[in-house]
Structure 1
Amino acid sequence: MQYRSLGRSGLSVSAIGLGTMTWGAQNSEAEGHAQMDAALERGVTFWDTAEMYAIPPTASSYGKTEAIIGSWFQSRGQRDKVILATKVIGGGGGFAWVRDGKSKPDRANLVAAVEASLSRLKTDYIDLYQLHWPDRATARFGTRLYSHTPEKDGVPIEETLAAFADLVTAGKIRQVGLSNETPWGVMRFLRAAETVGLPRVVSIQNAYNLLNRTFEQGLSEVSLREEVGLLAYSPLGAATLTGKYLNGAVPPGSRRALDHRASRYATINADAATQAYLDIAQRHGLSPSQMAIAFTLHQPFVASSLIGATTMETLLSNIEAIDVALSDEVLAEIDAVHNRLPDPCP
């Protein structure tokens, strides 16, 4: 396994991170425990979860993933071997079962959320606490256009960061991160840290994969210049890059079969781009999944690429992507497809 610095935090995270959102829905507690055992044995020490997991989000699945991780910590006693990240939901999610549907990233909600997560996770501290999405209108989750509605802005960034600061002081969390953020948002958080003396965000968790390279357009410069590492989620485009959803296929038991929400990867050019990347992998004798993950790991702004799997076979194969080095020829072919079919699934 490779390990990389997480921003300026002093934390070192495994370049392959363990995504967990299927535990409690597509995967049982026993399967989640087996995945954690296998990942740790292979040096995957950075694990990411969220209060709203398992996915798809429902009242019955809320908090289940954290609880499964907590029962693993309780039974294995290896909390000190894991860099643990979780997330608190942003505002406007419409989740009536989360703090009476009024959850926003203000002080009261953040304190309540972190205490509940700590209880489920069976731990005294969270290494990286992330805001799952901004509390304002942004282009995210497949939306291309930004709608400027400042009158609907939610909790001020400074207020959210000040509440995070109190949680750091209390020893509940160690570092602060963002997720599904924009360049403007990251820079505002950084400015608040510099001007008011609040904690500096060390990471941003956004989608980044062969079907969605929008991070490169502005956030990559912010990431590298400001040392805010990318935790790349969906390196396989929610399994789209495996080819399993080509031509409208929806395999039984797959995420698209179980999730009532439309997939951000079911777009007009998704099949054409996916097939082109599958062809590159075939020509060069590569696993399509490993090639896609290795592509994310090749980027200098990526601190960790977050993989998730419903089967042990898939999990182990995805972890083995750490040993895949893409040749200049493969990278050039990937860029050629990207130039022809840029970001079909933002």
Structure 2
Amino acid sequence: MRYNKLGDSDLIVSEVCLGTMTWGKQNTEEEAIQQLNTAFDDFGVNFIDTAEGYPIPLQPETSGATDIIIGKWMKQRPRDQVILATKVCGKSSRLKWFRDDGQGTRVTKKQVVESVEKSLKRLQTDYIDLLQIHWPDRYVPLFGPNKYDITLETPAVPFEEQLEAMNELIQQGKIRHWGLSNETPFGVMAFVSLALEQGMAKPVSVQNSYSLLTREFEAGLAEVCSPSHTNTALIPYSPLSAGVLTGKYDGDNSNCRLNLLKGYRARYESSSAPSAVQQYCKIAAKYGLTPTQLALSFVASRPFVPSTLIGSTSQEQLLENLNSFQYEFTKEMLEDIERVHMACPDPWRTPQPGGG
């Protein structure tokens, strides 16, 4: 296991970050504890990511269950040996059960403080190493659409208020650093510029989707986040694109993520992703790797990735994922991947003929 500095923070994180969003729904507490022990004790992982709403899909009866599992496990561990990241919900009028006022979630100072206090209690700790804004308070095209529609803009909590909330929590010792998630180049620059102007702590990371099938980060955020510019680390989530890059997707499996998350399956099947996945599977076979090993090795090899977020619903998946980081990613592999990427640069969003 290799360890890297997370942006310009003082956090030294393992190259693998353990994802948790299925714990308490698809995975039992016993299975989750087994995953934690395997990752931390057998592989040297020290970085774990959760969110106030986990597990997914977000539901009143299960929200917070993931944190409770992690909290029980953390009580048995030296706190300074675990780098704990969590997330506060962005804007949603639907998520009315999260806040005491029942008004839905926003990234106001009051709501951020309330979220952190509740997270600390569930996690049985007195501080969070990295608090992330799960998705923006303002309108941005997320989870499928990629074209910005100016007519959908709505009033948002000012960047200043969100920044002040994070910095007050840092001063109080309740969080060490803060970051963003599902963010855009504009959002990262707005927060960083304002933080520098006000002499406040800036975001140290951005957790966005990144994989062989979703490489939008390279188009704009890579420049913004460069160490020579804002030094904002990418924590890539869904490096296996909801599991489809394993090459094992079974459309009839009701427990797979494509069927559990609304819109994922339609998005996948109406795109050119199935064709791209087939080509990436052939590249993996050429080099004696499984599709999972190729996909994770690619993401881990990117210079802007200090730690890759992985999630597993079985011990078998977890072991394959963790073992994938030992393989050397070569120049020849990248050349083959780039040929597929050039032919279909954004397969999640590229319609198949007749697919709309």
Matched residue SS, 1:226: coil
Amino acid at match of 1:34: Q
1:266 to partner: Cα distance: 4.1
Cα deviation for residue 235 of structure 1 reads 0.4
Output one character per residue of 1:182-220: Cα deviation in whole Å (capped at 9) or x when no partner.
Answer: 001000000111111221110000000000000000001
Query: Shift of the alpha carbon at 1:18?
Result: 0.4
Q: 2:316 aligns with which of 307, 313, 335?
A: 313
The aligned residue for residue 281 of structure 2 is: 278
Q: Which amino acid aligns with 1:73?
A: M
- Return the offset for 1:139: 2.0
Within the alignment, does 1:216 sit opposite 2:218 as a pair?
yes
- 1 CA distance for matches of 2:153 and 2:335? 45
Say if 2:130 and 2:178, in contact at 8 Å, map to a contact too.
yes
Distance 1:179 1:222 in 2: 15
**Residues 184-193 or 218-227, more deviating:** 218-227
Percent identity between matched residues is 46
Tell me the distance in 1 between the aligned counterparts of 2:334 and 2:140: 31
CA drift at 1:344: 1.5
Q: Aligned residue for 2:16?
A: 16
Aligned to 2:112, which of 102, 106, 110? 110
Cα pair 2:242 2:258 within 8 Å, conserved: no
Structure-1 residue corresponding to 2:233: 229
3-state SS of 1:118 partner: helix
Distance 1:151 1:309, change over 3 A: closer
Asked whether the 8 Å contact 1:157–1:189 carries over to 2, the reply is yes
Query: In the alignment, what sits opposite 2:30?
Result: 30
Correspondence for 1:53: 54
Rounded to whole Å, the distance in 1 between the matches of 2:159 and 2:6 is 22
Cα 1:174/1:60, change in 2 over 3 Å: same
TM superposition shift of 1:107: 0.9
Offset of residue 228 of structure 1: 0.4
Map of 2:353 onto structure 1: none
Give unmatched runs, 5+ long, in structure 1.
none
User: Amino acid of the residue matched to residue 214 of structure 1?
Assistant: E
**Equivalent position of 1:298 in the other structure:** 301
Name the residue aligned to 2:156: 154
Q: Which amino acid is 1:138 matched to?
A: V
Amino acid at match of 2:245: L
Q: Which moved more, 1:81-90 or 1:217-226?
A: 217-226
2-side partners of 1:305 and 1:108: how far apart?
31
Alignment map for 1:166-185 (pairs within 5 Å) = 166-185=168-187
1:285 is aligned with what amino acid?
A: G
Match of 1:288 among 281, 287, 291: 291
What amino acid is the match of 1:245?
Y
In the comparison of the two structures, how many residue pairs are matched?
343
Aligned partner of 1:89 in structure 2 is 89
Q: What is the CA–CA distance in structure 2 between the aligned matches of 1:200 and 1:173, rounded to whole Å?
A: 13
* Superposition deviation, residue 331 in structure 1: 0.8
Residue 49 of structure 1: CA displacement? 0.6
Contact 2:21 2:66 in 1 (8 A): yes
For the residue of structure 2 that corresponds to 1:310, the secondary structure is: coil
Q: What secondary structure is seen at the aligned counterpart in 1 of 2:303?
A: coil
Q: Identify which range, 155-164 or 89-98, moves more after superposition.
A: 89-98
* Residue pair 1:133, 1:181 contacting (<8 A) in 2 also: yes
- In structure 2, the partner of 1:98 is 98
Q: Distance in 2 between matches of 1:277 and 1:190?
A: 36
SS for the counterpart of 2:145 is coil
- 1:264-310 alpha-carbon deviations (Å, 9 max, x no partner): 54442010011111111112110111110110111111121100101
Partners of 2:139 and 2:153 within 8 A in 1: no
Q: Structure 1 length as normaliser, TM-score?
A: 0.96
Equivalent position of 2:80 in the other structure: 80
| Correspondent of 2:167 among 160, 165, 168 | 165
CA distance in 2, matches of 1:314, 1:200: 35
Letter in 1 for 2:294: M
